Amino acid sequence: MKIKTRFSPSPTGLLHMGGVRTALYSWLFARKNNGSFILRIEDTDKNRVKNNSVQDILYGLRYLQLNWDEGPFFQSNRINIYKNIILFMLKKGIAYKCYCSKNRLDKLRKNQILNKKKPKYDNKCRNKNFFLKKSNIPYVIRFKNPTKGLVEFRDMIRGKISISNKELDDLVIQRSNGMPTYNFCVVVDDWQMNITHIIRGEDHIHNTPRQINLLSSLNAYIPQYAHTSMILDKKRKKLSKRCSSYSIINYINNGFIPEAILNYALQLGWSYKNQEIFSINEMKNIFNIKYINKSPSIIDKKKFLWFNHYYLNNISFNLKYKYFFSYCKKNNIFFDKDVNISGVIKDFLGRHSTFKDFIQTYDYFYKEINISNIKNIYLYNKLINITILKFLYKKFNLLNNWDLKNILLIIKESILYFKISFKEIAILIRIVITGKKQTPSISSIIFYIGKKKFLLRIKNFLKYLQLNNSNFSK
């Protein structure tokens, strides 16, 4: 039997690490076993569906390259399939119409709670034959859950789980508005899509016995289940789809790369021989459900940054370049062709943990600097500054071979000429061409920023000094 797994999020909010890890484990399990990975969007509860949530899920999965073999299927497009099966179940007598009013059910529930009993439907309508009844009274359709025996399954993470059927309600499979319910649609889809393994969060574990009973009543194959523990935020609460700071889109916007997100997601609740770094291929080869642990995991931003930093330093230059430019494009950041951005990436990206941090630190390579924000250039007086800058402009303008060696030669020449220190001239140039007091080595910055931008910034600065009364001195 071909292995088939599925990721089936509900589009009720943002895709977060909990969803990504579930998708990753299901994807890895399928890939490791030459199986198929299916994407199914569980969007039948229209009241809870959030705008753009589907796009967010698809974008996140595509960014992470968790490619699906079938789908995306949308449950909202399959309503007729569910309804036909419900009709079949009614005919077969494994489902029935329940006309109990909300009022009656509320009272029943209240009394049960008062008598310290677990709230449960009392099966009032179960044995009445309402199938042919035509009336305007609203009704729901319930599944006839077995009343005796146990539902048992072997969870691939948690071991044997069994629950008495006495504990289970006659599940509503169709609401009074005619819409099939979540648990029912899931069962029909898992059955019709031939899902063999269901890896999902333990927030669904209470649904499993009901789903198994439904599958059995339809003579369907019972998949194997693996319920993972929850991922929690730093306050130890289950990650929320409503909180954007934990969303994948937020990580992507901050410049986390797929390798780091996947590696971090993998090891949140999964461990293998103390190894931390796994390439995608390694994940596919090694992945095994037996390495998933049962305790909840807490998102640790520092660790996540560490992974991204690691990958920014260790992926191939081509990949770095590709990710970096798609990040820039998405954020409307463009570089003049004069700027040697590959050099900047090669030399400086490795110092940073995210693209966002990197791009903010080196904004002077793509953004014009605002001279009027510069308050002090810490060097002599205005006249001397103007003289040095004019000298530099002239020398650099004549330089045809824009390379590090020649750039350093001009800097040295200016030091000797003006009898100032390297530090002093570096500060002046740094402020003028970057607007910042701290940057990496000034000769590299001059080299990477290119002749055109370098000269233009000196020229603009000179203009500003000449027009302005500020003396830019100590």
How many residues of this chain bind ligand ATP (CB under 6 A)?
Answer: 16
Q: Is 120 in the site for ligand ATP (CB under 6 A)?
A: no
Residue 247 burial (C-beta neighbours within 10 Å; 0-12, 13-18, 19+): buried
Give the annotated binding-site residues: 241
Distances (CA, A) of 14 to 49, 56, 57, 242, 329: 11, 7, 7, 6, 23
Q: Is 423 helix (H, G, I), strand (E, B) or coil?
A: helix
Q: Tell me which H or E stretch contains 62.
A: helix 53-63
Does 19 help bind ligand ATP (rule: CB under 6 A)? Answer: yes
- What are the CA-CA distances from residue 77 to residues 108, 155, 160, 197, 199 (Å)? 36, 31, 36, 23, 24
Interface region with ligand ATP, contact rule CB under 6 A, candidates 7-15, 62-70, 251-259, 464-472: 7-15
Residue with Cβ nearer ligand ATP (152 or 203): 203
In whole angstroms, what is the distance from residue 131 CA to residue 90 CA?
Answer: 7
CA distance 59 to 260: 17
Instruction: Tell me how far apart the alpha carbons of residues 148 and 150 are, in angstroms, rounded to a whole number.
Output: 7
Query: CA 265 to CA 262: how far, in whole Å?
Result: 5
9 binds ligand ATP (CB under 6 A): yes
Q: Is 238 in the site for ligand ATP (CB under 6 A)?
A: yes
8-state DSSP, 220? P
Retrieve residue 149's tokens: 């025996």
209 binds ligand ATP (CB under 6 A): no
Is 117 or 234 the residue whose CB approaches ligand ATP more closely? 234
Check residue 200 for interaction with ligand ATP (CB under 6 A). Answer: yes
Which CB, 19 or 223, lies closer to ligand ATP?
Answer: 19
Where residue 65 falls (left for φ over 0; alpha for ψ -120 to 50; beta otherwise) is left
Q: Which of 3, 5, 6, 10 contacts ligand ATP by CB under 6 A?
A: 10
Tell me which stretch binds ligand ATP (CB under 6 A): 225-233, 270-278, 333-341, 351-359. 225-233
For 160, the 3-state DSSP assignment is: strand
Stretch near ligand ATP under the rule CB under 6 A, chosen from 17-25, 75-83, 161-169, 399-407: 17-25
Minimum distance from residue 238 beta carbon to ligand ATP (Å): 5
Is residue 50 close enough to count as binding ligand ATP by CB under 6 A?
Answer: no
Report whether 216 contacts 222 (CB < 8 A). Answer: yes
3-state secondary structure of 4: strand
Q: Does 395 bind ligand ATP (CB under 6 A)?
A: no
| Residue nearer to ligand ATP on the CB measure, 14 or 151 | 14
Helix, strand, coil content of the chain in percent (nearest 5): 50, 15, 35
Binding-site positions for ATP: 241
CB of 105 to ligand ATP, least distance (A): 22
Q: Report how far residue 452's alpha carbon sits from residue 455's, in angstroms, rounded to the nearest whole number.
A: 6
Identified binder of ligand ATP from the candidate list 152, 167, 203, 300, rule CB under 6 A: 203
Instruction: Quote the least distance from Cβ 12 to ligand ATP, whole Å.
Output: 4
Question: Closer to ligand ATP at the Cβ: 227 or 430?
Answer: 227
Stretch binding ligand ATP (CB under 6 A), from 118-126, 230-238, 305-313, 337-345: 230-238
Which residue, 90 or 243, has its beta carbon nearer to ligand ATP? 243
> What are the structure tokens assigned to 27, written together?
């994807």
CA gap 277, 68 in Å, rounded? 24
Binds ligand ATP (CB under 6 A): choice among 3, 14, 18, 353: 18
Under the binding rule (CB under 6 A), the answer on residue 267 touching ligand ATP is no
Regarding 204 and contact with ligand ATP (CB under 6 A), the answer is yes
Q: Which window, 11-19, 74-82, 278-286, 444-452, contacts ligand ATP (CB under 6 A)?
A: 11-19
**What's CA 181's distance to the chain center, in Å?**
28
Shortest distance in whole angstroms from residue 241 CB to ligand ATP: 5
230 is a site residue for ligand ATP (CB under 6 A)? yes
The phi and psi torsions of 381 (rounded to 5 degrees) equal -115, 175
Residue with tokens 């709670």: 113
- Out of 5, 22, 247, 354, the residue judged to bind ligand ATP by CB under 6 A: 22
8 Å CB contact between 29 and 35: yes
Nearer to ligand ATP, 207 or 460 (CB): 207
Closest to ligand ATP by CB, 204 or 436:
204
Q: For ligand ATP, give the closer residue by CB, 9 or 180.
A: 9
By three-state DSSP, how is residue 157 classified?
Answer: coil
Binding region for ligand ATP (CB under 6 A): 9-10, 12, 18-19, 22, 200-201, 203-204, 228, 230-231, 238-239, 241
